[in-house]
Structure 1
């Protein structure tokens, strides 16, 4: 440990802007120096050994080296450590004592992102079929227009197509994939907008829902439930979806593409914010992008800053209503126990367990909170080289979600994690009936209100 340093910082963690426009960001010698500096500190600490597969890979790499130290590890062997990072941010948010403003200045996820940005610049990642999988808007439009065929082809029980997908696209043949909706959330909201309850305590609030690619193309039920809840509570809401937030491109180190998306979406939403609308995002990964990642990628863009300060996660927003104006009447107990999974990208927003707070507002709810990584990690968990690792990482979550057979419902804030948990619960071979996996806690909340959506 450096002279004068201390074990951890007493100050609140902070993050530096990502200096991706600086040519030195892509200097491979400087990157290697920083990797070795950070990896050596991690090697001496090891608090993150049980968070994800990156850290066991790193520690095994060092322990198996000639000297048992980083000096005899080849830099070419760092790639598996980087590849195992899902950018969940949990090491930064929950474990690492050396994040800024500590003098060691560690930001492990953003260092992994830098490595991928260098790979992207060199053309080593983010091309071919891998790039096609990240085009969620194009794939969503096509999948929704041909939902019957698309859902048949992507069903994990379809041995005819899934083996081909694994060979051609690198998607593990056993990984559960999201279905496509025949009608997008945008279209459903336009065709059947719920009536706003003018007598509700929160009447007068206005919000614009950023649909997200998953909410728009894969599971509109999350959005229609949110709209129904907001209308019942007097909130006038509109649905807007300019394009995907860019998280899939960020995972591939394509920061220029992410910035373009950030600026476009922020410009689209700016007029709403200026008219007093709050911005609500339906999926925690997307909310994290709007709130925190975009301002670090484009720190000088005023529209991005404005959007960052105006954005709420959907669970966070409903809880905010409950605390400030109070909720509209009508909530009734659910007909069984609920396991709620707190997603990593919800935890990374540093807002508390809002999904748990939300479900506690439902009368007489027997709630079991699961706060641990599901092992999915966005597109990472469906890849053939990582799917089985993701299932292994998620085993404690699968068991906790079952709650010894007492859970009737399981809901994750991250719908992709929810699919993964459902598959993992099935794989446990439990003798108890499997609970219903609901795509988001707001769906249960809308059911508790007895709302049609």
Structure 2
């Protein structure tokens, strides 16, 4: 039950085509209103760094109130927001339909969009988040790309920090020479026509991360769905636009939404469900795209046909039952529930799915990993990201589960780095080993089915 409203939270369309959306005076006035309400509440003090930054600015001002804060410092608050949506979906009692009508993340998005409209562009971050271009180039020479991004490569990591502001200590995802889309076409999984979910049809939206950085997520999904009798196709028109959304590049996101809807709706028309492999992409497709393009019937129709991968597997389990053959994962699983999975308002499907594996302890980690997409790898943000994610890393380190899992692959990598920091602070004789890799939950379900070792895709 929410403090100020008994109704479920609702979101307004993002009026990015209205010139007033980019009027900085009006944006600052709205930030005055919202920040003053946040100052009086402070329920979100332990979420992303936006709120500590805001509250510190207020507390350290001469008046101790918002009127003592220089409006130029509002940028610090906006820049610290990772658009995780946890304040809106979980903590804030004043979201619409409450009369205060707060949507903190979308206000920060509006500020960034206005900055960009005014010509204040971050060239380094812009280049870093061109995931399709970067993925295509890196897949041509994955050995070189992975050598250059390796944490032990002081020469190239120092250069990357200087040029692209990527912290030299931040772990970066690896690249593969053969994308998931190409692998799926070359080796389609043979489905079991007698399995429980026979008759279902799915088109997997590969996502840029699974396509270029971890094809094993896609291959595991393909294998699990085929084992359960689902007919599967794989498509990857382009990135969903989340990296551009975070920067306020709303015109690019809208274009991506229209292009992907046009590519995937023919599958929907033939009775296919759409399944996204990474929660950030599912969130964009199901919720953010329809808010950006509320009058686009194709985008709305695609949103209604889209599922997150763990959500879809749980739906099979509840309606038809999963195929037999799941074996225990000895040592248990610590599973991080990604913020963008929670923001889909579908429940903790990753935990529900992993609990289907027999005799396997599952520890749920509901707090934020701190990573925040491209935000968390940047110089000046990385240490803050580790600080935010320390409670999660500490919980996993203490729990000693064999497998560390997150629906968000970047969050999983970040949690491991946090665990390594915690281990390094322990007396040498008391340090516990940190797992060498984290897994998407669907990889672990595939492993429990005996469908190949998770993380086994060759580069």
TM-score, shorter chain, exceeding 0.5: yes
TM-score by length of 1: 0.97
**The 10-residue stretch of structure 1 (214-223 or 332-341) with the greater mean CA deviation from structure 2:** 332-341
- Matched position secondary structure for 1:309: helix
CA drift of 1:80 comes to: 0.7
Partners of 2:187 and 2:97 in 1: CA distance: 49
Q: Are 1:194 and 1:227, in contact at CA under 8 Å, matched by a contact in 2?
A: yes
Q: Give the one of 182, 187, 190 matched to 1:187.
A: 182
Contact 1:407 1:435 in 2 (8 A): no
Question: Which residue of structure 1 lines up, in the alignment, with residue 396 of structure 2?
Answer: 401
> Of the candidates 212, 217, 222, which is equivalent to residue 222 of structure 1?
217
- Give me the whole-angstrom Cα distance separating, in 2, the residues matched to 1:149 and 1:439: 24
Match of 1:125 in 2: 121
Task: Write the distance in 2 (CA, Å) between the matches of 1:217 and 1:269.
Answer: 20
Kept after mapping to 2: 8 A contact 1:116/1:125: no
Q: 4+ runs of 1 displaced by more than 4 Å?
A: none
| Alignment of structure 1 residues 327-406 onto 2, 5 Å | 327-404=322-399, 406=400
Other-structure match for 2:457: none
Instruction: Please state whether the residue corresponding to 1:296 is helix, strand or coil.
Output: helix
Could you tell me how far apart the structure 1 residues matched to 2:142 and 2:376 are? Answer: 23
Q: Secondary structure at the match of 1:437?
A: coil
Counterpart among 161, 168, 174 of residue 173 in structure 1: 168
Partner of residue 52, structure 1: 48
- What does residue 280 of structure 2 align with? 285
SS of equivalent to 2:39:
helix
d(CA) in 1 for partners of 2:4, 2:171: 40
Corresponding residue for residue 3 of structure 1: none
Aligned to 1:207: 202
Q: Structure 2 length as normaliser, TM-score?
A: 0.96
Residue number in structure 2 paired with 1:447: 447
Q: 2:310 aligns with which of 310, 315, 328?
A: 315
Using the alignment, how far apart are the partners of 2:199 and 2:325 within structure 1? 20
**Match of 2:294, SS?**
coil
Q: In structure 2, what is the equivalent of residue 437 of structure 1?
A: 437
Structure 2 match to 1:420: 414
| Structure 1 residue 253 corresponds to structure 2 residue 253 | no
Return the alpha-carbon distance in structure 2 between the equivalents of residues 38 and 315 of structure 1: 35
Matched, 1:37 2:33: yes
Distance in structure 2 (CA, Å) of the matches to 1:402 and 1:72: 42
Displacement of 1:182 in angstroms is: 1.6
* Deviation of 1:255 (Å): 0.3
Matched, 1:77 2:73: yes
Which has the higher mean CA deviation after the structures are superposed, 207-216 or 429-438?
429-438
The structural deviation recorded for 1:160 is 1.0
Contact 2:135 2:212 in 1 (8 A): yes
Secondary structure at 2:403's aligned position in 1?
Answer: strand
Q: 1:125: Cα distance to partner?
A: 2.4
Cα distance per residue 1:360-407 (max 9 Å; x no partner): 000001111100000100000000010000011111010112243x21
Please state whether the residue corresponding to 1:181 is helix, strand or coil: coil
Deviations 1:242-290 (A, max 9, x none): 0000011111100000000000001111111111100000000010000
Which sections of structure 2, spanning at least 5 residues, go unmatched?
454-459
| Aligned-residue offset at 1:436 | 4.8
TM-fit CA distance, 1:7: 4.1
Q: Structure 1 unaligned segments of length 5 or more: list them.
A: 1-5
Distance in 1 of aligned mates of 2:173 and 2:79:
23
Following superposition, the deviation at residue 111 of structure 1 comes to: 0.2
Partner of 1:65: 61
